[in-house]
Structure 1
Amino acid sequence: MKKDSYLAISETNASIKWMLIASIIYLVIYSLAGRLEFQSQSIWIQILYLGIVCVLAITFKKFYKTDKVFIKLPKEGKVKIVTIIFCALVILLYALLGSVVSWTEVFESMPEMMWGSICVALAAGIGEEVLCRVLLFNLFAKIFENRKYVLVWACLASSVLFGLFHLINLTHGAAINATMQQVFYA
């Protein structure tokens, strides 16, 4: 089957071997930085953790030379409108259920804990997304680039690994039921 010329991964010069090595190095450094954050509840350690993850993400994104799936985006149609409507409905649902807490209440109650939680959430979000959606997705796109439905295969493979990576929460003392839910939903 001919290569799909619309995929951005075809512009990446890195071989599958080097992409795999880079992904493993990223995962190891990201996990070690997470250990640092887990062992200390200091806000400065959590800020350092966020900084390490951001530098790591930028460095490896540059190595891959792409964070895009397509060279030229396909026509989106009504996707943006449907997404905006969905987000508006979710916000409306939270408001109707009374689940929206005043931002002043959040900022006034334990501000150091809140800022630490924000740092950890950002670091986890950035770290996991770069690993699974940039590094591993592109790796699998490169592996499956000569197959039919390359994006489906790359998406499935990176998504399964993304879910399985949540098993690491068991080493942090998380309950098995909660961890398995995370694995399944992720």
Structure 2
Amino acid sequence: MKSNKRIRYGYILQIVVIIGIQIISLLTQPSRFVTAIVLIIILGAYLTDEYFCLSGTIRKVNVIVQILFQPFAFSYTAGTLLTLITPFKIMPVVSLCILVWYTISFFPYIQQFIAPIKNNGLRLFWLIYFFQIAISPLAYFGITSSTNPWFGAFFSTGLIGAVAYSIGLIKTMQAWHFGDPIILIKNRSKDNVLVISVFAILVALFIYSNLVNINTWAKLSSLRFWQLLLEAMEAGIGEEVLCRFGILTLLLYFVRKLSLRIPIAIIGSSLLFGLFHFLNLTGQGLALTIYQFCFTAVSGIFFSLLFLYSGHLELVIVIHFMMDLLSYSATGDSSLSGNITLSEYQSVINLTFLMLVLLIWMMFGKRHQVMEKHAKLLISRGNDK
């Protein structure tokens, strides 16, 4: 748990500030007494380990506790701060400062606890766990602003969490000595017109398949469209950074010695991408969620191929964002509703067949060479375990 003095002292100061905020929360928002006390105890355990010699077993347990619960402490504290300053007129300025703090607050935690992790299975677990915690610091409170609903909508989505997660994940992958999206952009190969044309056609086909059974578009207010826009940005940024960069890179490293490492990693990351959508069971039915799993898993193959071939994660983010925005705008909701028809399942089956054909096609010739080059850039500096 020890690091260089500059990082350690800055980290200690950050923890002390967070504890102070939770103490203020105890006095002003007693309904959150239990959570605040638990966070103070957990962060206090970190400070105790810094200044006192704990036994080896206790220290190991403390490290596990800090890895699991410090991200929640940072997220919860960001939400606490925003609720504390909501009644004041200075909310916009102070809130923006809090959001900037939130996007960088994980850096010392990553340096102190996550960078030393060598086991790639634990790395994969942490990427997924960290996503669930970091993505929605404000969702714990449902923050709104009576004076400015547009500003309140901005706070009540997970967009800021997605940005914070993305920055934190890129720093983490760098700490683990993997590549990052900037490396791919700097070393990208010349585009092939045929391949780009195929990808463009398939983007249109995915959008069509997503909207074909919608008879009438929802009538949205400007505020509701703003909310759906933010939610689509959250999904595009957060999910693509997690699945197409983080998980795909780790899976490529897991199977780096296999001749079929690229298709195996692509299918594995796509299945995980689909499985994540079972978290939506809290807001929609099982049949709709199963359909969503199938569609997102298939689209994950497409996104992975596009990322590995083009080397542009930002391109995949934009396409994902546009697909979600069109779907959300058409239905008026980010969750699925209604009944799944036979034609929709047929559409998914057709897309699955097309993606498998595309995957096989991309495994030959210059297309495969380009993806192999980009895969090596992502994993060549990874630590072996």
TM over 0.5: yes
Alignment-derived partner of residue 178 in structure 1: 288
CA contact (8 A) 1:46 1:119 kept: no
Alignment-derived partner of residue 166 in structure 2: 57
The alignment partner of 2:257 has SS state of: coil
Change in Cα spacing, 1:173 to 1:82, as seen in structure 2 (3 Å) is: closer
Report the alpha carbon displacement of residue 81 of structure 1 after superposing the two structures with TM: 2.9
Change in Cα spacing, 1:118 to 1:16, as seen in structure 2 (3 Å) is: same
Report the alpha carbon displacement of residue 163 of structure 1 after superposing the two structures with TM: 1.0
Alignment-derived partner of residue 66 in structure 1: 180
Change in Cα spacing, 1:60 to 1:88, as seen in structure 2 (3 Å) is: closer
Change in Cα spacing, 1:90 to 1:31, as seen in structure 2 (3 Å) is: closer
Report the alpha carbon displacement of residue 20 of structure 1 after superposing the two structures with TM: 4.3
Report the alpha carbon displacement of residue 147 of structure 1 after superposing the two structures with TM: 0.5
Q: Does 1:37 align with 2:139?
A: yes
Q: Does 1:25 align with 2:126?
A: yes
Alignment-derived partner of residue 4 in structure 1: none
Aligned residues: 163
Alignment-derived partner of residue 5 in structure 2: none
Change in Cα spacing, 1:110 to 1:77, as seen in structure 2 (3 Å) is: closer
Change in Cα spacing, 1:56 to 1:157, as seen in structure 2 (3 Å) is: same
The one-letter code of the counterpart of 2:292 is Q
C-alpha separation between the residues in 2 aligned to 1:66 and 1:176? 36
Change in Cα spacing, 1:166 to 1:30, as seen in structure 2 (3 Å) is: same
Alignment-derived partner of residue 164 in structure 1: 275
Deviations 1:121-166 (A, max 9, x none): 1112211111111111000000000001110111011111111111
* Rg (Cα) greater in structure: 2
The one-letter code of the counterpart of 1:180 is I
C-alpha separation between the residues in 1 aligned to 2:120 and 2:136? 22
TM-score by length of 1: 0.68
Report percent identity of matched pairs: 25
The alignment partner of 2:284 has SS state of: coil
From 82, 98, 108, the equivalent of 2:198 is: 82
Unaligned ranges ≥5, structure 2: 1-114, 145-152, 174-178, 209-213, 297-385
From 142, 149, 167, the equivalent of 2:260 is: 149
The alignment partner of 1:146 has SS state of: coil
Alignment-derived partner of residue 116 in structure 1: 227
The one-letter code of the counterpart of 1:30 is F
C-alpha separation between the residues in 2 aligned to 1:132 and 1:87? 18
The alignment partner of 1:115 has SS state of: helix
Change in Cα spacing, 1:184 to 1:85, as seen in structure 2 (3 Å) is: closer
CA contact (8 A) 2:154 2:230 kept: no
Report the alpha carbon displacement of residue 184 of structure 1 after superposing the two structures with TM: 1.4
The alignment partner of 1:78 has SS state of: helix
CA contact (8 A) 1:137 1:155 kept: yes
Report the alpha carbon displacement of residue 82 of structure 1 after superposing the two structures with TM: 3.3
The one-letter code of the counterpart of 2:139 is E
Change in Cα spacing, 1:72 to 1:44, as seen in structure 2 (3 Å) is: closer
CA contact (8 A) 1:167 1:179 kept: yes
- What stretches of structure 1 move > 6 A for 4+ residues in a row? 88-92, 98-101
Report the alpha carbon displacement of residue 23 of structure 1 after superposing the two structures with TM: 4.0
C-alpha separation between the residues in 2 aligned to 1:36 and 1:181? 29
